Structure 1
Amino acid sequence: MNLHIEKTPVLLGEKAAALTASLLRQAISDNGSARLVLSTGSSQFETLEALVKEDVDWSRVTMFHLDEYVNLPETHPASFRKYLKERFLSKVTLAAYHLVDGNPDSIPSLTAELKKAPVDVGLIGIGENAHIAFNDPPADFDTRESYIVVNLNERCKQQQVGEGWFATTADVPAQAISMTAWQIMQCRHIISAVPHKVKAKAVADTLSHDTTPDIPATLLKTHPNFDLFLDAESASMIAE
């Protein structure tokens, strides 16, 4: 694991984006194309804003994303499809992209597209309950499916309300389609951009514990190419 601590979320985002772009350029140079997985949420604002400004031949990049609420319309402010279209897809021209549409029936076709080739870079956030994608604790580390339907726990729902996507936890959908922990670990490189004070405990728990489904992000530490980007606030509870 490579740990990077920057002073601000903006600097964190710029550094995470620069590394992402470098890895994408290398994949394009080596293979003629690159494949990218993106995460969403307020913690990814700065990284995505910086990433779309990077010098990458986006016409050679295919994008996937991690998760979406089951049966949530794309017009809803919390839709991750809406988020990615506004913050990423409207700003770069990709070779192709494959969004999770919230319909469980689409999982087989999405999985088939994902499995056509390895993913070069996964931008994988860490939730306030240390979830990765919507794999809340205790996460399923055993399944070898690529996407599954998961039930969201109360801490996860509280995060969505806290970030302003829903008015109350009762408004948060009960289920989501999520890339599995196993599939996330198949990315050749994993970059986690994790700013803000609300992530400090999850970060500290991730770094101070052995791998456990009760702290899903601990699995990322076992990846051979894992870069964790923190800011001063998200790093504030790390023990020396």
Structure 2
Amino acid sequence: MVADSVAEAGHMAGRHAARVLRDAVAARGTARVLFASAPSQEQLLEELRTADVPWAQVEAFHVDEYIGIDPQAPQAFGRWLATRLFDHVPVDARLIDPSADPSAEAARYADLLRVGPLDLACLGIGVNGHLAFNEPYHWLVDDTVAVREIVLDELSRQQQVDDDCFASLDEVPTSALTVTVPQLLSAATVVVTATGAHKAAAIAGALDPGVKASVPASALQMHDDATLYLDPAAASTPATAEAGSR
């Protein structure tokens, strides 16, 4: 779905997410949701902060976290989500601990995710087509592990600098824990928000028919209830987007 602006794309996605959470609580008494942490999610989270959602019945997770970062650092994804949503609503937020042993933490978080069904995943798409931190060629469509330790692609790390999260590439951590693609797509509904001309090539790759190892986001094609919310720049062809960004 192509919105008129970046803000409208995010708010539309937020309204969609709120409906899913309300419906899950109405049907089952609880809801479980995964959140991505990225600038593309700002308006979605803003919408959710004031939405009519029974947050006390919602259990929230995040999709990835840097290994070794201070949990209170503003770049830590759990902290980023807390400042934008978790600190403002009475949600049960289950965060990845970046200071823990990575193998043990991956296993702990996988166990938490698998306690029950996931109703919703709110995701973005990276400039290299990553989904969470599942990097090109380093993900499995049939992965049996729910959370993995991964080495970050340099493009993913550079994106963090370009998004003004870090001052230089040297400051960006080189590894992270990520929820794997099959676990992400186990959510009953997937709401994806991607904006900006710099995402156009990744969006085109994700939508080009066929699941491709080079574009993890192409796995979204396998989901029966996945909706993409884009602004015009992200929805344009890569050549058009490149010209428009000059």
What range describes the TM-score normalised by the shorter chain of this pair?
Answer: over 0.9
Match of 1:134 in 2: 133
Match of 1:226 in 2: 226
1:20 maps to which of 7, 17, 21: 17
- Deviation per residue, 1:23-55 (Å, 9 max, x gap): 111111110110010001111111111111110
Match of 1:86 in 2: 83
- Please identify, of 159-168 and 135-144, the stretch whose mean Cα deviation from structure 2 is larger: 135-144
User: CA 1:165 to 1:238, structure 2 compared with 1: closer, same or farther past 3 Å?
Assistant: closer
Aligned residues: 235
TM-aligned CA deviation for residue 76 of structure 1: 2.2
Match of 1:202 in 2: 202
Question: Matched residues in 2 for 1:109 and 1:154: separation?
Answer: 28
Match of 1:120 in 2: 119
TM-aligned CA deviation for residue 238 of structure 1: 7.0
Matches within 5 A, 1:122-201: 122-141=121-140, 142-201=142-201
Identity of aligned residues (%): 31
Find the residue that maps to 1:97 and give its secondary structure: strand
Find the residue that maps to 1:190 and give its secondary structure: strand
Question: Matched residues in 2 for 1:82 and 1:10: separation?
Answer: 22
Q: Which amino acid aligns with 1:230?
A: L
Question: Matched residues in 2 for 1:163 and 1:109: separation?
Answer: 30
Q: Which amino acid aligns with 2:212?
A: T
Give structure 1 stretches of 5+ with no counterpart. Answer: none
Find the residue that maps to 1:15 and give its secondary structure: helix
TM-score, normalised to structure 1's length? 0.94
Question: Matched residues in 1 for 2:107 and 2:148: separation?
Answer: 10
Instruction: Please state if 1:65 is matched with 2:62.
Output: yes
Question: Matched residues in 1 for 2:20 and 2:237: separation?
Answer: 30
Q: Are the counterparts in 1 of residues 10 and 40 from structure 2 also a CA contact under 8 Å?
A: no
Q: Which amino acid aligns with 2:94?
A: H
| Runs of at least 4 residues off by over 2 Å | none
- Deviation per residue, 1:216-238 (Å, 9 max, x gap): 00001110111011011111117
Match of 1:111 in 2: 110
Question: Matched residues in 2 for 1:106 and 1:205: separation?
Answer: 32
Supply the RMSD in Å over aligned alpha carbons.
Answer: 1.3
Match of 2:45 in 1: 48
TM-aligned CA deviation for residue 75 of structure 1: 2.8
Q: Are the counterparts in 1 of residues 106 and 149 from structure 2 also a CA contact under 8 Å?
A: no
Match of 2:31 in 1: 34
Match of 1:10 in 2: 7
Question: Matched residues in 2 for 1:158 and 1:110: separation?
Answer: 27
Question: Matched residues in 1 for 2:211 and 2:152: separation?
Answer: 21
Question: Matched residues in 1 for 2:216 and 2:144: separation?
Answer: 16
Match of 2:97 in 1: 101
Give structure 2 stretches of 5+ with no counterpart. Answer: 240-246
Question: Matched residues in 2 for 1:174 and 1:238: separation?
Answer: 28
TM-aligned CA deviation for residue 134 of structure 1: 0.4
Question: Matched residues in 2 for 1:79 and 1:61: separation?
Answer: 22
Find the residue that maps to 1:116 and give its secondary structure: coil
Instruction: Please state if 1:214 is matched with 2:214.
Output: yes
Find the residue that maps to 1:64 and give its secondary structure: strand
